Structure 1
Amino acid sequence: MSTDASNAPMDSTRPRQRLSREARHQQLLSTAWRTISEEGTEALTLGRLAEQSDVSKPVVYDHFPTRPALLAALYQDFDSRQTQLMDAAIASSESTLLGRASVIAASYVECVLLQGREIPGVIAALAGSPELVKLKRDYQTIFIEKCRRILAPFAAPNAIATPSLWAMLGAAEALSDAAAMGDITADQARDELFQTILGMVARSGGGKAG
């Protein structure tokens, strides 16, 4: 008697879980994050994602035509959660420089830590194509402009210089990655980023706590 798994009746009779397109999309993203966490970014292929998600390859290809498209979707998913976290924290924070700076620092670090060690691998993979590099830069630009608007009331009479905002973002990425890798603690990352933001605003000619 053949023992080929393809002849096993359970493969053809097991009911498939039917999900809406949006729910399936989220399921695939969640599975992709888990695969990266367990096996590394290099192990994440469209075929592997289909296998891990228990769906056919065409289902995966319908959502992500290429691996770069999947990586882009993962980064967009991360950025969306980061934005929601910061917006909610800003809405409930004190309208002071200390309050706003604390929210920016805490929400950035917290979002990276919530994603764990997976996001550095995805970010590194984004360097693999010009399209993905541009995608990352576009989202970075949106983030620093958001920070500019949040901190603008405390930077008068001079606006915060764009190079300073990029330097702040560089510090945020480096500190968060270090915390995710266990090189420093989350508190150390948040505190250092908080001080970096205060110093940036002070150099702009502002820096009032109120």
Structure 2
Amino acid sequence: MSSDDQGQPRKRLSREQRRRQLLDVGWQLVREEGTEALSLGRLAEQAGVTKPVVYDHFETRSGLLAALYQDYDARQSHMLERALARCDATLASRAGVIAEAYVDCVMSEGREMPGVSAALAGSPELEAIKRGYEQPFLDKCRAALGGFAPSGAISAAGMRLLVGAADALSQAAAAGELEAGQAKEELRAAIVAMVERQ
């Protein structure tokens, strides 16, 4: 068993705990130094582990960036599920919950996500991850909103409109161009309008 700087025994982390630690340190590095500074060696140094430990979890820099993207998407999906489970069964309430969950998630990691996405741009990992996470998100929104559409369903174009508006307004809030509350209200109104046109 290893020890810390004060000579106290250090508890061994499980594989999942170590991965969580590495992801948290990765987010911190991106936040403080930018995506360009993120390398597997730098992550190992900041996390206080050897390089083989980091390579065992992520293999490549793209693998690390992909894991950060997955981590972000999983949080976004979890926030949305929890919020939808607690909201009233009205269009305004569900649209508001989707808007709030999306903006809040982007605000929590939003300044870092554009850098992570840009660093992964064009990589097969990112495209696979985006496809893997986007459809379940769209399905959740479609299920939450479809019953309020005059046609009884939300079209693919309507869902694309929702995601485009959500991304644009959330990123504007994360960049300080809009207040978070304003972004949420504009997104809620856009979702309601989109559903009512279906």
Distance 1:20 1:34 in 2: 21
Distance 1:123 1:196 in 2: 25
1:20 aligns with 2:14: yes
- 5+ residue gaps, structure 2, are none
* Deviations 1:141-181 (CA, angstroms, capped at 9, x unpaired): 22112111110111143421101211210111111111111
Kept after mapping to 1: 8 A contact 2:150/2:196: no
1:160 aligns with 2:154: yes
Partner amino acid, structure 1, of 2:86 = S
Kept after mapping to 2: 8 A contact 1:126/1:136: no
Give the SS at the match of 1:184. Answer: coil
In the TM superposition, 1:59-98 aligns within 5 A as 59-98=53-92
Name the residue aligned to 1:102: 96
Distance 1:122 1:186 in 2: 22
1:41 aligns with 2:41: no
Distance 2:119 2:127 in 1: 9
Name the residue aligned to 1:115: 109
Aligned-pair distance for 1:16? 5.3
* Deviations 1:84-121 (CA, angstroms, capped at 9, x unpaired): 11111111110111110000000000011112411121
Larger Rg: 1
Kept after mapping to 2: 8 A contact 1:37/1:118: yes
Distance 2:60 2:182 in 1: 38
Kept after mapping to 1: 8 A contact 2:43/2:54: yes
Q: Identity rate of aligned residues, in percent?
A: 56
* Deviations 1:2-45 (CA, angstroms, capped at 9, x unpaired): xxxxxxxx99x886552111110100000000000000011111
4+ long deviations beyond 3 Å: 13-17
Kept after mapping to 2: 8 A contact 1:35/1:43: yes
TM-score for the superposition, normalised by structure 1: 0.87
In the TM superposition, 1:181-192 aligns within 5 A as 181-192=175-186
TM-score for the superposition, normalised by structure 2: 0.92
Kept after mapping to 1: 8 A contact 2:66/2:129: yes
Give the SS at the match of 2:182. Answer: helix
- 5+ residue gaps, structure 1, are 1-9, 205-210
